Amino acid sequence: MEAPAPHNPAEPGSVQIVVTSPEQMRELGRRLAKLLRAGDLVMLSGELGAGKTTLTRGLGEGLGVRGAVTSPTFVIARVHPSLGDGPPLVHVDAYRLSGGLDEMEDLDLDVSLPESVVVVEWGEGKVEELTEDRLQVVIHRAVGDTTDEVRQMTITGLGERWASADLSVLAA
């Protein structure tokens, strides 16, 4: 991974990272897992194939959860219990959900959130009301007919939970 881009003063609590391979994306997920605790909400956004599930796979490895982390596109949500004393991982793919929080309420994420790490792919406009404290991960990649593995990522901590977090450790 390359060093973070210069800090943008317009985005306090934000870090920019360049990832050049799927393995680097998984490693970033493993490092991010070290910052997470029960009650954390992570929102992932990016084009199809940007690496959201690959990042979540690394999160699962870092959190030490049971089961292979795969895209929950057709089941909407999967719970991966912890193999140790850490929190379970709830992995949600909201791509097929058209409604806002009303449709998400059927998943009982508000019940799961306090004791779990909840990761939501495609959650923009759907889960923000769950908590003011969340981590937003935006992944940009080249689109079209390309095999380019480079991803430009912006990770932003929102709310009191992330106000003093040093996200620059993710670029190490």
Angle at which helix 52-63 crosses helix 22-33, to 10 degrees, equals 40
Interval 32-46: pLDDT, tens: 999 999 999 999 999
- Predicted confidence (pLDDT) at residue 105 exceeds the cutoff of 90: no
Based on C-alpha coordinates, what's the Rg of the chain? Answer: 15
Q: What is the pLDDT at residue 148?
A: 78
- Predicted confidence (pLDDT) at residue 8 exceeds the cutoff of 60: no
Q: What is the pLDDT at residue 144?
A: 65
27 Rama class: left (phi>0) / alpha (psi -120 to 50) / beta: alpha
The answer to which of 109-113, 118-122, 146-150, 165-169 has the lowest mean pLDDT is 109-113
Q: Which residues touch 61 (CB under 8 Å, ≥6 apart)?
A: 26, 29, 30, 33, 69
DSSP alpha helices (H): ranges in the chain? 22-33, 52-63, 101-105, 109-112
Starting at the edge strand found earlier in the chain, the sheet holding 117-121 runs 14-19, 151-158, 134-141, 41-46, 117-121, 89-93, 77-80
Rounded mean pLDDT, 96-110 = 56
Interval 132-161: pLDDT, tens: 899 999 999 877 666 678 999 999 999 999
- Predicted confidence (pLDDT) at residue 7 exceeds the cutoff of 60: no
Q: What is the pLDDT at residue 70?
A: 85
pTM: 0.84
Interval 114-132: pLDDT, tens: 899 999 998 887 778 778 8
125 Rama class: left (phi>0) / alpha (psi -120 to 50) / beta: left
- Domains, the chain, ranges and CATH? 14-170 (3.40.50.300)
Interval 65-102: pLDDT, tens: 998 898 866 667 888 899 999 999 999 887 766 555 55
Supply φ then ψ for residue 45, to 5 degrees: -135, 150
